[in-house]
Amino acid sequence: MGKMSEIHIRMLEENFQGDPDAYLEAYVNNMQPRPIDILHKDILCPNCNKEHLIKINKVDMSCTKCDHDFVYIANDNSIKFK
């Protein structure tokens, strides 16, 4: 069984509803996939400028590349350093 199939099966097992590409990206990046809410893919990490942020919950966002945490400000759709 190929690696891609394994990931797809895991995605089905976790009943992941989001973007499969985003899931794969997160999987490859931290190799420990968890049910994450991948939103605001357009927000580039202001710390490393290499990766888009993932949303952990309503206010917490994190970078899968440099592991920096941010707070999401819903009012103006922006983020700030924690």
Q: Which residues bind Zn ion (CB under 5 A)?
A: 45, 47-48, 63, 65-66
Please identify which residue in the block is written with the tokens 């993932």: 54
Specify the residue, 8 or 47, whose C-beta has the smaller distance to Zn ion: 47
Alpha carbon dihedral 59, 73, 21, 62, in 10-degree steps, equals: -60
Specify the residue, 24 or 29, whose C-beta has the smaller distance to Zn ion: 29
Specify the residue, 8 or 29, whose C-beta has the smaller distance to Zn ion: 29
Closest C-alpha among 60, 56, 64 to residue 31: 64
Least CB distance to Zn ion at residue 12 (A): 29
